[in-house]
């Protein structure tokens, strides 16, 4: 939702060149939401879903932080400032999501390492 709000703010601002990043992050989040909701993560075991979510969170936090600094410092209209403030809030939200997803990724990788042939020999 926050990515969509930032996208709308960038469309209405002078900093319209930054609108692609929130749009892509919104679409990626929407895709992963529907993938988890329709249990695609259980059907397609070859895709490392926690890693995909982890990389999305990391890149989103970095990209939102960078374009928010640029939008707030370079443009003076209200919509650009609002998009920058929402971008800083999104950076914090994605950083929290990054931390939670990192913990899930660690447990996922530990679970995968117990299925290795060395783990089966000791059992």
Return d(Cα 103, Cα 74) in angstroms, integer: 37
Reported as a single tens digit per residue, the pLDDT across 23-75 is 998 998 898 889 889 988 788 877 777 788 888 889 999 999 999 999 999 98
DSSP letter (8 states) at residue 17: G
Q: Provide the pLDDT confidence category of residue 114 given band limits of 50, 70 and 90.
A: low
For residue 76, pLDDT beyond 90:
no
Contact criterion met (CB below 8 Å) for 79 and 6: no
């Amino acid at each position: 939702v926050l990515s969509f709000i930032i996208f709308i703010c960038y469309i209405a601002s002078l900093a319209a060149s930054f609108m692609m990043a929130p749009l892509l992050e919104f679409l990626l989040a929407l895709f992963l939401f529907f993938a988890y909701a329709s249990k695609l993560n259980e059907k397609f075991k070859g895709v490392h879903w926690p890693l995909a979510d982890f990389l999305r969170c990391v890149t989103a936090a970095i990209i939102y932080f960078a374009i928010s600094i640029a939008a707030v410092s370079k443009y003076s209209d209200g919509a650009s400032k609002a998009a920058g403030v929402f971008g800083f809030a999104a950076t914090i939200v994605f950083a929290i999501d990054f931390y939670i997803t990192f913990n899930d990724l660690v447990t996922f990788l530990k679970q995968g390492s117990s299925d290795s042939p060395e783990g089966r020999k000791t059992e």
